[in-house]
Every structure is written in C-alpha cells, then in structure tokens.
Structure 1
Amino acid sequence: MGKIQLVIPPREKDLGGFNVRRILPYATHRMVGPFIFFDHMGPADFRSHEGMDVRPHPHVGLATVTYLFTGKIRHRDSLGSDQLIEPGAINWMTAGKGIVHSERTPSFEREHENHMHGIQLWVALPEEFEDVAPSFIHHPADTLPEFTIGEIKLKLLVGNALGHTSPVKAHSDLFYLEANITAGQLLNFPVLGCEAAAYVVTGKIRADGKEVDPYSMAIVETGDDLELEALTDSKVMILGGSPVGKRFIYWNFVASSQEKLDRAKKAWLPGPGPSNELFKAIPGDDQEFIPLPAEVGNPKGTIM
C-alpha cells in the first residue's frame, strides 16, 4: 500500500468575483513532480450579466493546463489565440520566454445565469525549455483517451499512464488523469518511482488508512503506488511525474534562477505592448492589465 506523506487542505483565494481553492504551492510541499501550482476554480454561480474576468497578465517558465467540468471560458493571448474553453477539453499554454493571456466568461454566457467549475495547473518547464517561444494548443474532449478499470472510469488528460498516451505534448515526464470511482471501488495506480498525488474534487476517499475530504490533496511517498478506496462516489484528479529541479516563483512567474525572475518582473512593470521584449499586448483585449504586485516582505522569489 502506498504511504501517504501529507494531506493538503484547501485555502480559499478571492480572484475577484469568484473564489478558488489553492492547493499548490503549499508551505511544506511546493511541487508534485513538475506541477508547481494547483487551483480548483469554483464551483461558482454568476448572475445574469456577470462572470469571470481575469484581466491580461503574464507568465514565464511554465505551461498552464486548464480543464473545465462545467461552464465556458474565453481564452485570449498575445499570440492572437482566441479559444472558447469548454468542459472536457484540455488547453495547454506554454509560456516559455513570455506570454500574456486573459480568461473571461464569454459574452453570450453572461446573457443568463451561468456556472463555472474547473481546475488550472501550472507545470514548471525543464531548464532547456524555459526560454522557448510561447505557444497555445487546444485539445477537444473527444481527442483525449477514456478507458475503464473494472467499474472505474478514467480519462487521461496529459502524459502517459496505464498503457495510454494523451495527445497533449508535455515537455517532461508527467501524468494527469480524471478518475470517477464509485463507492466501494479500489483503484491501484502504479507510480513507477515518480512523485504522485490525488486530489478529491467531489466525494470522499481513503488512502493509506487516511480519509481524504473534498478539496484536499493526498501526497504519496515518492516511489509508492497510489491506492485509493472510494468511500462515496468520487471524482479524483491524479497527477505527478519526475521532478524538474528547484524553481523560484514570484506571482505568475516561474524560473530556475533569480535572474530570470527579476528579468520578467522588470519587463512587466510598464505592462504589455509592441516595444516590450517579453510581453506583447493581447489583440482585442489590450485596454487593461494586472499590474505587478507590490513587493511587500519578500522582494525575492520563493524557492520551490
């Protein structure tokens, strides 16, 4: 049986108009494999004419992975991408040397009451890919492998696992799955020496004798398999992979060195624009942006 090292409880963050439950980075456990950030968005209910508005903001040194259970998000970025994100699809944005994007509820959804529920992860890029050109790729729901083990329904979102391969191209060894486990069912997930974790979206599971409540993440000891028992019908996200090394993180920036972090911070100070070396404006969404947060208490990046 896999030994559970830690269970991380949720911490609610207000992103302006809706809340997220932030799991990673955590004070005593910053990363799981290359995954350096985990936000559970919602579930959020919006009244008519309201919705999510995450204004243009920058990233470097990471890839964002967005997955929705319900609702719709309009993704736009400085490459000119304009993509409607819908439930079941994977949207992989490689920030590389620098990208700007916004995430908003589309206007047609605001014509009525609307609902949004999903998860966004950040994957720290290996050093050799930190400064690649940015890119964005949308993978429709029907392109992602779905299969069953007994009565357990699984969907491989990114990477390789259980004999299946996702079409989503990652930059390192990792896996990310959605598992729907009925009450009383057991899932044995072989980790093969990697770091791994299970996050409970709904329901309740038992791992290594520990009950794991909704919105919590169980971290297995490195190299141990994940063995999960559903105490109620449960939706669980399974993630992990090989570590990519220590990382510095500040706000939306991830880097292997303080120097790269400082370069990104300096570049974002004036905001996006045609003369900005790292951060161009988003076509059609260039009237506002989120400014660099004030450096209070910790002017240097946190080491992961």
Structure 2
Amino acid sequence: MSWQPFRSRLRMKTDMHCGTLMLGFVARAFPYVPQHVPIFAAVPAAVEALALPQVPTSYREMESLLLHGMRATPFFVLGEDGKPLFPWEKEARALLEADFVSSRYGVALDDPSRSAEQGRLFETEVLLAHRRGSMTATQLEGYVWLRERETARLRLDPQDGIALKDGSARVSWPSLLGRLSLGGDRTRNLGRLWPDAAWEPCGELWNGIGMDVCGEWPCLRLDADEACPVAVAADEAFGGRGGFSVMTGRRFSGGAYVMDSGTPARDIGWRPDRAVLIELDGERCARVRAADA
C-alpha cells in the first residue's frame, strides 16, 4: 500500500521545549520540532482522543499502529512571509535565536525543608509561542506521510483518521494534530497547540523536493548539494557538507515513557555530494540510499 503525503500547519498555544543534549545546567532545545516528535506525541493524544483505557497495552498498540503507518518531516517555524525559517540557513538561524527562542529558569526543591536545593539551578530553552514583540501565535509547518494499517482494535485510514474497528470512536488527522503536546512536559504546560490544525494533500516538499511514495517507506529525492530537511543516520558511504546531532526522545518502556540514549545523526541541512534518496524508514532518523537504488 502506497503512502499518502500531507502538509500541515500548526499554531503554538504555549512555549515549547524539544530537547537536545544538556550543556551544563542548561536544557538545550532545537529551534524546530524534530521529525520523530509528532509521531511519538500522537500516541498518547490518540489514546486519549479515542477514550481508550490509559494502560500500557493501549499505548503499545497505538505506538505499533503509528510507527508502522506514519512518518513526518521536522516542523519548522514560519516567518512573516509564510515561508519556513530553516535553521541551517545563517540569516534564518539568527532570526530564530533572536526572536523565537528564550529560556525559563528554575531550581530543584528540597521537599523536607520546602526550600531550594543547593547548587540545583537549571535553565530550560524554549521555542516561544509568540514572536518577541508580537501577539500572533508562532506557526509551524511540516509534512506527514500515512498509509493504511490495522491492529487488533485500531484502524489507520490516511483520509479519515484513526478509528476503533467496532465503529465506536474516531479522531480525524487535523483534530489529532491539534491535540499534540510537542516536547516539554505537561506539568509545566509546554508544547500545547491551538486545535485549528491545517491539513491538505500535497505532491512535493519545500523548494520543490520530490518524493517517492510507492516503496516500503516514503523517500525524498535530493540533488547533489541540496539541503536535506530531515535528520539522517550517519553513513560513511555517503559524503557531503554539514554537522552532526544527537536525536533524543522518549520511548514507551516498562509501562512509562522514558528518555532513550539518543541516536547520532547528520543534522538537518546536510548537503550530499551526489544525488541521493532519503528513505524515512526510521522514526527518529532517515537513511541515505543511492539515487538509482
């Protein structure tokens, strides 16, 4: 079954923290939403939307459905002109850091004494829900691929959403995306969205990047020296220009969502030294393949 591509725009309701590696006491954040975050965030959101029992079996079944039936690009902040601010572009990165990124400060508390613990100050970087000097909600744009999948109780339909197979409940894709908590944690009200997610079919990505949707996983087609908009697993067989990153995130393990150890990857904006295919086989990082594979 082929994949169906869609473009989505989201409006931020609260500040967001999609974390990367710590730097001292600073919890660093990406100035965008990494590609794996919408997929994992959709798991608890869909369980809640369908009123499934909030028990490990429900989360495991929903995760299995989405990890095999959904892929996404990163979601990037949109500028005033409605175009994405790609962090690998120098001017866009400067604008992001100046107008859309800030920090929250806090301190760990010692419960018996009800006071601050010594030496436990911390700082959390956030993507702002409103650009500095503006009351307009920050907008995010990204692409999602879907294909039909089923589990014992659930059905994923690229057009209609996720439903219980007995017909008792369904959630549409725009409604589900509006329910996501992207990064951060719910105790600090980070990563909330307004429920009016925009959703439409599409045929290509930003800057006319083409795609193949008939294989086992969706693929992007990149020309030599064309910026890759997704993180890809480091592979010495393919050269190019760009930095590296560690993609961290949460996985469902032992009955709870816990942080994993992270995956080393070529950072977004990597430019291959030849034409390549970018296969979105991993939920956290894509894989580079030869263009004629």
Please confirm whether the aligned pair reaches a TM-score higher than 0.5, indicating the same fold.
no
Q: Using structure 1 for the length normalisation, give the TM-score.
A: 0.26
Q: Using structure 2 for the length normalisation, give the TM-score.
A: 0.27
More helix by share: 2
